[in-house]
Amino acid sequence: MFEPFRAFLPSEYQVKAATEGWEFRAAARLRRQVFCAEQGIFQQHDRDALDDVALPLVAVSLLGVAAGEVAGTVRIHEAEPGLWWGSRLAVAPEFRRAGALGAALIRLAVGSAHGRGAKRFLAHVQAQNVKMFQRLHWHTLEEMELHGRNHALMQADLAAYPAIRDPALGFRALARQAA
């Protein structure tokens, strides 16, 4: 994004499966920024074997009709028939003020898995995010420590998430307006 316009956050985002090379690269950079540099959970990178099979989803800021940058990301994968997992949910710090991007990515993640036959959708959620997931119709199955941080194993209520057949199309999400 052109630096002088950084203070002006977009009011609209396209939340979709990553389809372009720049979206995949930007999602990887964002994950590295959040999970390595900001949170210190991983050292050099956060990539693992799941990246070879996971579907990366992104929230792309829109500048008029043109794509701006990847503001958020999450990945989903099917661990076994009907069992889907979400992981590596990240929103860039400068876009967290926009609100609702994390929720929009969760909605696309669960809806996309639901559209692909999910019977269960699980995630390991950092403790500070549990309340947000609960508001989005998730419930805690177990509390645990992962990567030196408190997490909850949580399950989505699939009935609360309409099936999304084509995550590449995704949907538009509006930024929450400041009061």
Q: Kindly report the CATH number assigned to the domain that includes residue 99.
A: 3.40.630.30
Q: Read off the pLDDT of residues 74-95 as tens digits, 9 standing for 90 and up.
A: 999 999 999 999 999 999 998 8
State mean pLDDT over 136-163.
Answer: 97
Task: Identify the band that residue 175 occupies on the pLDDT scale cut at 50, 70 and 90.
Answer: confident
Q: Identify which of 100, 125, 124, 118 has the alpha carbon closest to the alpha carbon of residue 161.
A: 118
Cα–Cα dist 31/7, whole Å: 22
Q: Read off the pLDDT of residues 95-117 as tens digits, 9 standing for 90 and up.
A: 887 668 999 999 999 999 999 99
Report the pLDDT value the prediction gives residue 174, as an integer from 0 to 100: 83
The reported pTM is 0.90
The answer to whether the CB of 3 falls within 8 A of the CB of 44 is: no
Number of domains in the chain: 1
Give the range of the structural domain holding residue 160, as residue numbers without chain letter.
11-174
